[in-house]
Chains A and B, each alone.
Chain A
């Protein structure tokens, strides 16, 4: 009999709950029972509350068990789970689980299914088909396909990717660059991490296509140093792409060159801002540059540079493979395609959900997310990272669409959804937003650097009851100054979480809750 395939994710989130121990226990028990097992360390399927999620391949498909701790493994073997048998931890066929089945996985099509660092697995699952298509096209046609797909930057600003590429294609320079923004600093976001760990080749493929489309022959992935697992997976994948001729001087005998390397950040949120990132790549302090010049014209080392988020670039291969039309059939309004949402914080079914734009927040929170983890009512949700607004229940029917969010002074950003139950103290959250700005400001402009410190002080005075009416006027005025007097969105958007908290939850600013949990 051939070996039974068992999948245990190598994803950092799964490993954070003991996946390595689970994998080890499976091998030990298999040896004890004399069962021949092929253990595959796949990416995560994204159902993070079930991690470590173990899958067994059966004739009917892959059967899921989770969460499986090392201590559960002997019981699973006793119940003959290697044949896909019933067990209290069993969930049936993975592909039929509603959380997954109802998703529209384009960018994450392979994540969790394949061995992330196996190039042959990647090829067997439609890998490098986008690159093959691109190699037969002219650069202008590749750029046109990306433009027609409607793909907008997934890093936060939602700028159309095709337009950026077109600028770089048209720019002259001795050396152009593709820079992947893998700084993923927003709290509540982990889709970049999951694709880099779960399907690193798709990012390599997307960056290579970007290179061919714009005439850039060198790429950098600027990866935050908080992601050691992603670093490992990327380096393994890059090494095998080189050895199989998918990177290097002559990509698949096309005569085209593309080189790629990973560079590590060093724990500075501002280095996610594109010009600060470029400074950092050049070996300097991560200070924001004035624009113009646009990075597309004078970016890394003064050369024309495409800088895109991980998910933006990882969405390119499927666009080239299946066509721009296919991609743009998903979505609503000017938000085309899919957005990998990240359900985080106090949520029962936290994880990665890739869906076409247009779902309402309420559907995501309750139908998909299952409500709060604590079982208490959901009181506030922060979407779009630390610079995103806090939304109260009355705004939960907003559809997930860039323009709809902008319409309520909120932002979709990188698609992180952080859920808080009714024990949250919104004045404390507003204070934290200001505090975060003091820690992470690059220091270039006064409203951001000093204003945020003043913001913390004003909120402290407000909640301590020190002339709160006057303090509120000062706080709003200060926020106004930060919005208008900041060079980048760090200082310019920090007021959004602050003001939204103040507007929607004014009661929390009146008196300091003494014990939030007993309130």
Chain B
């Protein structure tokens, strides 16, 4: 981009933030609490996603100004890491392991079953808003694959039947 002082930069009117006042307050409080940590951006993003379930686009300016960095920098970090998501997930997040040790015990068949039975692809959310399906590359449960992480609970030996049972229980739970 040119930095010539003569260039006229058109003013773009910002659209209003779509974050609710409560969410704005919560992002603000997280930034306030963590911004002095060395390397604070990842801890902040983790807490924002922990609180809101995702990192909304409209949280980025708040975080950028708290850390005194550009929005582009924050955006660049958010999009670099697979774990951070910019859209609201379903009530439960199901991460399915795609890596080799799970492939060796039927991981690919489970993946196909998961997508078919939920009617979504990876990163999608079921129509009833219950489950978001995410790929993950190893969960450290490689002797007991296929493995999955349902919210924060690790699952092992996930056969198609066990998968269906897990999903049904999650749907009933909340």
Binding site for B on A (CB under 8 A): 12-13, 15-17, 48-49, 51, 184-190, 192-193, 225-229, 263-269, 280-286, 301, 342-347, 350-351, 373, 382, 386, 416, 418-421, 424, 429, 432, 436, 439-440
Contacts and interface: CB of A to CB of B under 8 A. Distances in A.
B154 interface: yes
B139 A281 contact: no
Contact of B143 (A281, A351, A436): A351
Interface in B60-78: 67, 73, 76-77
Nearest to A380: B104
Contacts, number: 158
Contacts of B42: 263-266, 280-281, 283
A189 B81 contact: no
B106 to A, nearest CB: 9
A17 B138 contact: no
A162 B52 CA distance: 45
A265 B77 CA distance: 12
B104 A13 contact: no
B118 interface: no
A51 B103 contact: no
A188 B142 contact: yes
A350 B138 contact: no
B84 interface: yes
Given A16-B147, A429-B100, A190 B141 contact: yes
B100 A432 contact: yes
Interface in B75-104: 76-77, 80-84, 95, 99-104
B40 A228 contact: no
Interface residues of B, number: 43
A17 B80 CA distance: 33
Contact of B156 (A17, A185, A286, A386): A17
Given A283-B40, A386-B99, A418-B100, A13 B141 contact: yes
A303 B104 CA distance: 43
B160 interface: no
B26 interface: no
Contacts of B99: 187-188, 386, 436
A187 B147 contact: no
Interface string B12-28: 00000000000000000
20 contacts: A13-B143, A13-B144, A15-B153, A16-B141, A16-B154, A17-B144, A225-B83, A226-B149, A265-B83, A268-B81, A282-B38, A285-B80, A345-B100, A345-B102, A351-B143, A416-B142, A418-B104, A421-B104, A432-B100, A436-B137
A269 B77 contact: no
B143 A48 contact: yes
A185 B140 CA distance: 8
A262 to B, nearest CB: 10
A185 B138 contact: yes
Given A226-B136, A268-B81, A285-B80, A51 B100 contact: no
Which 7 pairs from chain A and chain B are nearest by CB?
A350-B143, A345-B104, A283-B41, A267-B83, A187-B99, A266-B81, A344-B142
B170 interface: no
A187 B101 contact: yes
Given A345-B104, A432-B103, A282 B142 contact: no
Given A16-B156, A266-B82, A268-B80, A346 B104 contact: yes
B43 interface: yes
B5 interface: no
B59 interface: no
Contacts of B149: 226
Nearest to A271: B81
B141 A12 contact: yes
A373 B42 CA distance: 40
A436 B137 CA distance: 9
B53 interface: no
Contact of A285 (B76, B103, B143): B76
A192 to B, nearest CB: 8
Nearest to B42: A283
A286 B42 CA distance: 11
A327 to B, nearest CB: 26
B22 to A, nearest CB: 25
B80 A286 contact: yes
B113 interface: no
A386 B147 CA distance: 17
A267 B81 contact: yes
A197 B6 CA distance: 60
Given A187-B101, A225-B83, A345-B100, A15 B142 contact: no
A185 B141 CA distance: 12
Given A284-B77, A418-B104, 4 more contacts: A17-B144, A187-B138, A344-B143, A432-B100
Contact of B154 (A15, A266, A373, A416): A15
B39 interface: yes
Given A16-B147, A188-B100, A346-B105, A226 B39 contact: no
